[in-house]
Structure 1
Amino acid sequence: MPLRPLPLLAPLAALSLAGCGVNTIPAADETVKAKWADVQSQYQRRADLVPNLVATVKGYATHEQATLTGVTEARARATSVTLRADDLSDPAKMRAFQDAQNSLSGALGRLLSVKEAYPDLKADQQFLALQSQLEGTENRINVARQDYNEAVRQYNTLIRTFPTALTAKIVYGATPKTPYEATSPGADQAPKVSF
């Protein structure tokens, strides 16, 4: 009795499909999108905290109006630039988003330095609590960006390595995602502290 090749081909076909990334590529893409949503969530948390911080400082440092106005304007710019998960492969859109967020980071740094000039402000519990929340948020943003970059690295590796590269191009038309990069001037240099 001759062997029928069809029953033998079914397990072989299933095994080869499993190795070509048919399921892993969309899973990796969804992970990148989820990690990007985490980054956006942390930026939203920061944007929500900023008005409270500004209102608290405003009560103590009314003559620092330019700094407060700068923070408010930077927050408005940062929240007006959005980046959808579909735009993660566009370096120009990613750069615009990063620039807006970096502008807010710089303005917040200037605002937090205002506290050094006002001893009453440093002692205010509301300010200290908000400052702590903002510092925690900045740390969460950093962790979320690191997690996003790791998901991007895994995705980009997946779509560029054999055999999943074939499936990525042929089946999904996958393109590499853009990692989050430091764009602030001097971000590659450690700050110098001197007293």
Structure 2
Amino acid sequence: MTTIASRMQPTRPLLSILFVFLLAPLLSACGYNTIPTAEENAKAAWSEVLNQYQRRADLIPNLVETVKGYAAHEADTLQSVVEARAKATQVTVNADNLTDPEAFKKFQENQAGLTSALGRLLAVAENYPDLKANQNFLALQAQLEGTENRIAVARRDYIGAVRAFNLTLSTFPSMIWDKLWFHKQPFQNFTVEQDKMDAPKVDFGTKPQTQSSGG
């Protein structure tokens, strides 16, 4: 009896491994992998959003210094950009904390504040032809324009990825796996208003400004 039992014992781990291999395709077919896949896609999309916002923040100090060289007396506008950048870089939401509505809201508000301050600064620059002709300013203009476009694309991709992830938590059959196994919370997303928010205008194509003659 001891000999027979000892021969049967090693087959149990083998049966367990075989069971896992047989079960894996069934789990995949039933949507088990849908939730973690969608979650990782959303996190990757968010990382790209952060990368592009950081890229914009990195351009601002040089932009402010360049404008200051030609429009130093625009102190209030320059200071508002510096302060808005500080707020935007102080609050961040990492990929593992996308379920926090308060943190996400604060992040949105601070980035929107920086967008608004940048818009005012670039509007002021319209009044300084020498600044608009400066090569460093032109290079910064091109980089900022490219970054704003990348931010828009990154935000759009993130919105789509989060919608897909959140949908897996509320639709069959993946919702069953979430209830039984994952227990995930929906990710926060950009609001419609901010998604449609205009980026700062950086097109300095020189349109001659007509000045009305006095008298």
Q: TM-score with structure 2 length normalisation?
A: 0.78
* 1:110 aligned residue: 120
Note the aligned Cα RMSD (angstroms): 2.2
Superposed, which structure 2 residues align to 1:166-177 within 5 Å?
Answer: 166-177=176-187
Whether the aligned pair in 2 keeps the contact of 1:21 and 1:168 (CA below 8 Å) is no
Q: Distance in 2 between matches of 1:14 and 1:84?
A: 31
Q: CA deviation at 1:129?
A: 1.1
Equivalent residues in 2 for 1:149-188, closer than 5 Å? 149-183=159-193, 187=197
For residues 137-175 of structure 1, the C-alpha deviation after alignment (integer angstroms, 9 at most, x for no partner) is: 111011000000111011111221111101022211012
Counting matched residue pairs gives 181
**Cα deviations by residue, 1:69-121 (Å, 9 ceiling, x for unpaired):** 11000000000001012221222211100000000000000010111111111
Deviation (angstroms), 1:128: 1.3
**Paired amino acid for 1:98:** Q
TM-score by length of 1: 0.85
Q: In structure 1, what is the equivalent of residue 206 of structure 2?
A: none
Letter in 2 for 1:176: P
How much has 1:16 moved relative to structure 2? Answer: 3.0
Q: Which residue is equivalent to 1:120?
A: 130
Q: Which amino acid aligns with 1:117?
A: N
Q: 1: CA distance between counterparts of 2:138 and 2:20?
A: 65
Higher gyration radius (CA): 2
Q: Which consecutive residues of structure 2, in runs of 5 or more, have no partner in the other structure?
A: 1-14, 199-209, 211-215
Match of residue 3 from structure 2 = none
Structure 1 spans left out of the alignment, 5+ residues: 1-5, 189-194
Residue 67 of structure 1: aligned partner = 77
Aligned to 2:203: none
> For residues 134 and 169 of structure 1, what CA distance do their matches in structure 2 show?
44
Percent identity between the aligned chains?
55
Distance 2:87 2:100 in 1: 20
